[in-house]
Structure 1
Amino acid sequence: MTVSVLCVGSANAQESYTYSYDAQGRLVRSSRAGGPSSGEARSISYDDANNRTNYTVAEPIAAPSVSIGNASTIEGGKLVFPVNLSGTSASTISVNYATAGGSATSGNDFTAATGTLTIPAGQTSGTINVSTTNDKVVETSETMTVTISSPSGGATLGTATGTGTISDNDSSLVIGNASVTEGGTLSFTVTRSGDITRSVSASYATANGSAVAGSDYTAKSGTVSFAVNQTSATISIATVNDLAVESTETMSVTLSNPSTYATITTATGTGSINDDDIAFANLAIGNAAAVTEGGTLAFTVTRSGNTTSAVSVGYATANGTATAGSDYTAKSGTLNFAANQTSATINVATIDDTSVESAETMSVSLSNPSTYASVTTATGAGTINDNDVVTGPSISINDASATEASNLVFTVTLSATSSSSISVNYATATGTAAANDFTATSGTLTFSPGQISKTISVPTHDDNRVETDEYMYVNLSGATNGSVISDGQGRGTIQDNGLGGGCKIC
């Protein structure tokens, strides 16, 4: 038989006694548990003679502390923070956690996280995982933190904050400039910094500057690649050794489309191509002395500098207000200088027409100098003076007006009759009236002997809009047979017909 007796001494301590008897009712064993000390567990055993045979004191089990450790990863990976108990707990322990930025910022470098970590009874550790962002920025290692708080189950806080270190995984690609004498190879060095533990690449392509692909360098595009631990690579561009005397010219190589784990910090390198040609001769063309139509314009080309070698240069005429075929004879060719010759002449014939006109101009331009020759003044002007006398009547045009959708009728009048035919050209031009307000018209009016007036009709268009009056012009040109244009422009006013919708524009 066993009898237990509970004795309560205070709010913080209690004792219990246990007595064991055999079948004859004799006391064979007694024990006591608990005691006056809070949290202590005592056990005392006695033999049949009531002698104490065992005395056990169990120290109180202290509540464990919770601590968080540090973590590290390469960007794009997970930061795994260990959370450890200082000892085994008979009950479940939970703890709250929250991330915070440091040199690493949430959203850009890692994903902010909050929550509760639970460590089941009997286990001593758990983990908190934080996702990081794989960006394309070359940067130093960055840090953030995770802080734990409010442990449950009687646990206490040990180390409350763990630091997470995020290492960069990007390579920075930088292209430098290059320089070479024409005919050599431009070598553009691309340098890699940052993470060099991966293979990366980028595309590249050349582009013109003052240097032009084909004539100054060979265009090229492709891919520049870096093996593991390789920190530099070269892009080679061939240049062309031409014969032109020129200043230093430039082109460029631009990087684009970096591969994974690479970013382009400096995208464009400039290549300078230095000239290797020596100018033995400087060629300059002057203006020609003005001539009366029918005469010859003489353009003098002068050579300066070194005159010991034979050189040549191409030339060609070009229209100004004078027109090839009607005012002068077009001409092109090559002008040659013998050794020690310092000047040469280009002669251009002019045409004696019958039109009364103002002085007109044309030009001659030099191009394509030979080896070791340079053109310093490329273009000379020539002036052709008219030799025709006004012997015929003057020509004038009046102004006209019409309602839109009808015709503008301009009258062209001679100041007097003529015994010979006289012609004059005409052409319409826009003013406040646009091209869609009238039909463009041009042509030639011819006055037979004795006639003194002609008309020009210009159809106008109804645009179905209410608007103010608009105007256009008819211009005269090219009078013949000694006649002169005294009033060469007629103004045509297009009046609105009031049939459009909306309000009248004032």
Structure 2
Amino acid sequence: EVAYELGGSAVNGEDYQRLTGTVVIPAGEWSAPVVIRPIDDNLVEGTETVVIELAPMGCPAIWPPSPACYDVGEPDRALAYIRDNDVTPNQRPKVALTSPMNGDVFEAGADIHLRAVARDPDGWVRLLQFFANGDKIGEVAMEFIQPPPPGEEQVFEMKWEGVPAGRYLLTAVATDNQGLRSVSEPVHIAVTRPGGPPVVTIHARDPHAREGGPNGEPNSAFFRVKRTGSTDEPLTVHYLVDGTATNGEDYEELGGVVTIPAGRRSGVIEVRPINDDLPERLETVVLKLVEPPVLANVSILGESPYVVGR
């Protein structure tokens, strides 16, 4: 009789019929089998392992040794696999638009390069469709003699030709080899007509501000407002102020307008903290560009001096 210990990811008596921990090699034989009989539990578990390691026996130091005694040689360990027969539900692919970028601006008639990256955790993506404002503008299909391994990155690209002026919400829809679909996060772009109003956008150039210490100067945060088109004239851009910090109390008051000087592509908005010597949590300042206001008693002919991008 030979003793052994059980290990592995499978559970004795749950994933396979219970083993006693001993096996008897019959008289006249050189070996005896230990049989792993799987139990079908209708659970999706993947491949599991069973490890058997022979256990040494404590034998008395006598001569001749007892017939029941044995030494453990090499190999003293063996591994078996239990493969699952239950099917894992198909997982949805993942997809992201990587070009163009959110807020990009183009001139009307331009050819726009579209690029999407997709992954399918348990298969591969066979079809990628591109949409603009809900309308399909193109698709790219992939067929393989030898499919790629699950989870491998796949890149899909196409050229969107001669795009007319307008604002567009772009998305990509990925379909995997079993028919499941996923939609990317949207990307907003603007396409302006030649000679049309400039497109303005805002970015936090330095988003961290700090009140000064006992002898220190405050550290300001900065927003940068950019424009497209001609720079021959100055451009005044309007914005709204929001966030958890209070305008004029937690930082020097912002007036809601910034002027981009003539000859410059951008202007800067400084958020300068006011040191109030009060313990406070981290606070935020949010600026949102808006179209210029129209006075009720003024008739404005023509178009807006600028368009707000995203």
The question of a shared fold, defined as TM-score above 0.5 by the shorter chain, is answered with: no
Question: Which has the bigger relative contact order, CA under 8 A and spacing at least 6?
Answer: 2
- Structure having the higher Rg: 1
* Structure-2-length-normalised TM-score: 0.37
